[in-house]
Amino acid sequence: MISKGELTQNLRGCLEIFLFMPKGIERFDITRAKAIQSFFIPLALLPFILMIVVNMNDEFSPTLIISLNLLRIFLSIILFLTAVYFLAKQFDRQDHFYKFIQVSNWLNINALLLAMPILIGMASGVPSDDFEVYAVFCEIVGYVYSAFVITHCFRLPWEMGGFIAIVGLAINENLFDLSNYARDMLAVSV
């Protein structure tokens, strides 16, 4: 798996990206094996995300919400990575693709840290409505980080990085709407 030195290096990279330091991106490896290994992070953090989603949809059955959201997350990762690969190929930057996968997987740690107040709040019984504005804020900040990572990872102009991040936003939002539609349909039909 990941060596101690690599772990330190990647966590340092996460911190530097959090501070918008371009050198943070250089800390990550460019190999395919490391990119595949890094999928361990979103997998490990998935239960926390599902906990938030289940809590925010407490009027629906948890099994329905978990299966729908697992499918949504899985699909949005595949669609987003495909879109990024396609766009990177257009600009002849596909050699940085594995680094991008790695960085975006490791950045799930930053996202979890940002979402931590929501998790703690929910665990201590604060109603989920109170966190709605903060959740939107985290999401917007997430897309800003995404644009930053794409710009520096693929060495693209920032407008292009921003565009790819917006493509990611479109994929996520549409899949989210679709999963909400499916949730409402399935809940009515049950």
Partner 1 sequence: MFTKSEIKENLLGCFEIAIFMRRGVGRFRDTKVTAVKSLVIPLVLTPIVVILMVMVSQDFATEVLIPLHVGRIILTMMITWAIVYLLSKHFNRDQYFWRFVTISCWVDIIGFLLLLPIVIGVMTGYEFSVFESYALFSGIVGYVYAAFIATHVLKLPWELGGFVAIVSMGVSENMIDFTVYLRDSFAYSV
The residues, any chain, with a CB within 8 Å of residue 121's CB and separated by 6 or more, are 130, 131
The distance of closest approach from Cβ of residue 57 to partner 1 in the complex, given in angstroms and rounded to an integer, is 20
Question: For partner 1, how many residues bind (rule: CB under 8 A)?
Answer: 14
Nearer residue to partner 1 within complex by CB, 71 or 138: 138
185 alpha-carbon distance from chain centroid:
26
DSSP state for residue 128 in the 8-state scheme: G
Kindly tell me the burial class for residue 178, based on how many C-beta atoms sit within 10 Å of its own C-beta (0-12, 13-18, 19 or more): middle
Which region among 33-41, 85-93, 130-138, 161-169 touches partner 1 (by CB under 8 A)? Answer: 130-138
Member of 28, 80, 97, 148 binding partner 1 (CB under 8 A): 148
Q: Residue 20, interface with partner 1 (CB under 8 A)?
A: yes
Member of 56, 85, 121, 186 binding partner 1 (CB under 8 A): 121
**SS3 category, 28:** coil
Please, which of residues 78-117 interact with partner 1 by CB under 8 A?
Answer: 117
Q: Residue 154, interface with partner 1 (CB under 8 A)?
A: no
Which region among 1-9, 27-35, 125-133, 171-179 touches partner 1 (by CB under 8 A)? Answer: 125-133
Given a contact cutoff of 8 angstroms between Cβ atoms, the answer to whether 84 and 119 are in contact is: no
The distance of closest approach from Cβ of residue 24 to partner 1 in the complex, given in angstroms and rounded to an integer, is 10
Instruction: At 11, list the tokens.
Output: 């966590």
Give CA–CA dist 108/18, Å, rounded. 11
Residue for token digits 């890094």?
A: 38
Member of 28, 97, 131, 154 binding partner 1 (CB under 8 A): 131
Member of 1, 33, 133, 188 binding partner 1 (CB under 8 A): 133
Q: Distance of CA 29 to CAs 6, 52, 83, 159, Å?
A: 9, 31, 22, 25
> Which residues of this chain interact with partner 1, rule CB under 8 A?
19-21, 23, 117-118, 121, 130-131, 133-134, 137, 144, 148
